[in-house]
Amino acid sequence: MNKFAYIVIFTTFSFSISSDVINSSIEENSKIFENVALEIWEFAELGYLEDKSSALLADTLKANGFKITKGVAGIPTSFIAEYSNGGPVIGILGEFDALPGLAQTSAPFKEIAINDTNAGHACGHHLFGAASAWAAVAVKDWIIKNNIKGTIRFYGTPAEEGGSGKVYMVREGLFDDVDIVLHWHPDDTNSANNRTSNSNKSGKFTFKGISAHAAGSPELGRSALDGVEAMNNMVNMMREHVPQESRIHYVITKGGLAPNVVPDLAEVYYYVRHPKMSVVEELFERVVKTAEGAAMGTETNMTYEVMHGNYSLLPNNTIQKIVYDNLVSLGGISYTDEEHKYANEIYQTFFKPELEIGSQMLIAPFKDSHSYGSTDVGDVSWVVPTAGLRTATWVPGTAAHSWQAVSTGGTSIGLKGAKLAALTLSKSIKYIFENPYLIEDANNELLERTGKDFAYKPLLGNRKPPLGYRN
């Protein structure tokens, strides 16, 4: 069953390009940024630990004439790259963190890669960062060639996966002077919708008890794991009494090491999601109460730490329609015979795929849509007019956060999707610079959507960036 009723685009994306500056720059820099993407794919660095990935992107942009400011918002792997000729400021977001436990080769079958992190780019952030930087360079070249009054700014944003890197950058006012922000994301389809998402707040709950011999003197012990399990049981009962759109999920990160030792330390990591930030905050406090009750009932001590918090994505139709029109004008992605063979092989590994091979050649129709996932792009979208797109960097039917996404992201299929994203972003930015009235229109729309009394307040409060949250 197809997920979308597609608009048929007969002009599929190819790399035979015209001679205008944007296209020429994208083509001339293809090998550079394709190699950057593949190197970051190989690095597979976790959130806030992306030392090599961040440095590679920053160095590549510096070599292309950008001014680099590293370590912004108190995050060592964050940076801002800017080329300015005055005028309006348009930002492009770039991510580069991988996901734990998903090391994978580029083979069309499950084959665990040997790397230092046991991580993999199952959300395609290696492509995200590289293509966004690629687009920034193309826009810079166009600004110089045509003496355009404009500023292009690339935001190197770490730890999107649970670390909320962008939130700290928003909190520090690093987007206060930006007129428009664009972003993109890898996917198994091509789309540029008015997309919303769930807001999200997470926390690690740590229980401390008393160790003892589990058989010889169990009465002397108080199990921290019992505290975790009691909390989980109460949250699972709570699920019956939450709004339908809610999502609550957890993993036990620490639970003891030996069955014959009563564990004196246990930890559980929770995510709480809902489209409305106010509901997320209410649900999170209810989760905290379950932890408090569990500690009381098991005679353990509980502490918790808020790890991250993201706003929902706030669409901006004014800019989003520009991105969509440019994506449609470029068309979808065609496969070579070799790519078709690979795609068919990997397609056989899917569980109930919603798309068919061939849909990567098409563009999904423009519409309002909602994702039950979350992203720290959401916080940016509440303070700056923001729009984005998705391109088919994965074989149609691929689930995000899967080994198949890692695999395809390391192939020419992934690189083609990244190139389409870079072209769409750069052409959209060019159009906005050429039609500056759009900036005022987009900001007026933002004000209308947020309300004149809106004041940004991060869901994660005033905590410092959790630089060790993946350790």
| CATH at residue 438 | 3.40.630.10
| One domain for residues 230 and 131 | no
Q: How far is CA 69 from the centre of its chain?
A: 22
* Residue 281, phi then psi, degrees to nearest 5: -65, -40
Question: Do the domain assignments include residue 4?
Answer: no
Contacts of residue 212, Cβ cutoff 8 Å, sequence gap at least 6: 218, 219, 220, 221, 261, 262
| One domain for residues 290 and 320 | no
d(CA 224, CA 254): 10
d(CA 51, CA 54): 5
Question: Do the domain assignments include residue 259?
Answer: yes
Question: Do the domain assignments include residue 469?
Answer: no
Number of helical (H) and strand (E) elements in the chain, helices listed first: 13, 14
| CATH at residue 274 | 3.30.70.360
| One domain for residues 306 and 316 | no
Contacts of residue 80, Cβ cutoff 8 Å, sequence gap at least 6: 68, 69, 72, 153, 154, 155, 156, 174
d(CA 416, CA 136): 17
| One domain for residues 230 and 207 | yes
Number of domains in the chain: 2
Place of tokens 């926390």: 203
| One domain for residues 162 and 136 | yes
| One domain for residues 438 and 346 | yes
Domain range holding 214? 199-310
| One domain for residues 291 and 185 | no
For 229, 292, 358, the CA distances from 400, given in Å and listed in that order, are: 29, 34, 19
| One domain for residues 143 and 28 | yes
| One domain for residues 98 and 164 | yes
Question: Do the domain assignments include residue 3?
Answer: no
Structure tokens at 225: 């794991």
Give the pLDDT of the chain (471 residues) as one tens digit per residue: 333 333 333 334 433 333 499 999 999 999 999 999 999 999 999 999 999 999 999 999 999 999 999 999 999 999 999 999 999 999 999 999 999 999 999 999 999 888 778 999 999 999 999 999 999 999 999 999 999 999 999 999 999 999 999 999 999 999 999 999 999 999 999 999 999 999 999 999 999 999 999 999 999 999 999 999 999 999 999 999 999 999 999 999 999 999 999 999 999 999 999 999 999 999 999 999 999 999 999 999 999 999 999 999 999 999 999 999 999 999 999 999 999 999 999 999 999 999 999 999 999 999 999 999 999 999 999 999 999 999 999 999 999 999 999 999 999 999 999 999 999 999 999 999 999 999 999 999 999 999 989 999 999 999 999 999 987
Question: Do the domain assignments include residue 344?
Answer: yes
Q: Are 337 and 401 in contact (CB under 8 A)?
A: no
| One domain for residues 347 and 264 | no
| One domain for residues 206 and 265 | yes
Question: Do the domain assignments include residue 12?
Answer: no
Q: Of 310, 341, 376, which closes a domain?
A: 310
For 179, 370, 454, the CA distances from 194, given in Å and listed in that order, are: 19, 8, 21
Question: Do the domain assignments include residue 16?
Answer: no
Question: Do the domain assignments include residue 2?
Answer: no
| One domain for residues 240 and 337 | no
